[in-house]
């Protein structure tokens, strides 16, 4: 069966979200009591087995390759290879002509079904990216669920609605296109 990349995106704004905290991972308690967050979901069908796509998605080198346009690189923690539960990585990249650093930790890990990474330090008030991998007609349906909130109060809320949600969604779409191309080539 010939596989074509299919991406379906939904962008939404939630009020009074109550996010689940993950056990003893050290993720900041700032996750509690969020009055507003932006979330979006990307669904991408890729012609790879779930376990293969799971591994490609948690590969630091593949992530760096997928974010080459923003000159993203891993500068601390796990800087190459596969991430596992509890692993941290600090990313450095250029976005909006500004150098940014963000440290993320893998807070949930269920091979080959899902994993979650969350910001532990960085530019967002909070950031969570849930990755799911569902067998689908000889390939995999990869579902990316991203939730985040910008800092800076009202100014941050305006940025979320005006451009930040769309910008992050586009980053995930480009990443998924990269994974589809490189997974098919493997």
pLDDT tens by residue, 165-180? 999 999 999 999 999 9
- Based on the number of CB atoms within 10 Å of its own CB, is 115 exposed (0-12), middle (13-18) or buried (19 or more)? buried
- pLDDT reported for residue 91: 98
Cα separation, 62 vs 68, in Å, equals: 10
- pLDDT reported for residue 161: 86
Give residue limits of the domains in the chain.
37-185
User: Omega into 112 within 30° of 0, i.e. cis?
Assistant: yes
- pLDDT reported for residue 140: 96
- pLDDT reported for residue 184: 67
Cα separation, 66 vs 15, in Å, equals: 32
Low-confidence ranges of the chain (pLDDT < 50): 1-34
φ/ψ (deg, to 5) at 24: -105, 40
- pLDDT reported for residue 4: 40
- pLDDT reported for residue 182: 87
Q: Which fold has domain 37-185?
A: Alpha-D-Glucose-1,6-Bisphosphate; Chain A, domain 4 (3.30.530)
Cα separation, 128 vs 105, in Å, equals: 10
- pLDDT reported for residue 28: 40
């Amino acid at each position: 069966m010939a596989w074509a990349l299919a991406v379906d995106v939904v962008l939404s704004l939630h009020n009074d979200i109550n996010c689940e905290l993950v056990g003893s991972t050290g993720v900041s308690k700032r996750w509690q009591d969020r009055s507003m967050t932006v979330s979006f979901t990307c669904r991408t069908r890729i012609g790879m087995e779930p376990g293969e796509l799971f591994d490609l998605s948690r590969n630091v080198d593949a992530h760096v390759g997928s974010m080459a346009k923003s000159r993203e690189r891993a500068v601390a923690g796990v800087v190459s290879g596969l991430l596992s539960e509890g692993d941290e990585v600090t990313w450095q990249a250029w976005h909006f002509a500004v150098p940014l650093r963000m440290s993320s930790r893998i807070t949930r890990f269920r091979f080959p079904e899902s994993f979650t990474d969350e910001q532990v330090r960085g530019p967002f008030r909070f950031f969570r990216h849930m990755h799911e991998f569902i067998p689908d007609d000889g390939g995999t349906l990869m579902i990316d669920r991203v939730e985040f909130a910008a800092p800076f109060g009202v100014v941050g809320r305006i940025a979320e609605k005006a451009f930040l949600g769309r910008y992050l969604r586009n980053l995930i779409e480009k990443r998924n296109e990269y994974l589809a191309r490189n997974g098919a080539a493997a």
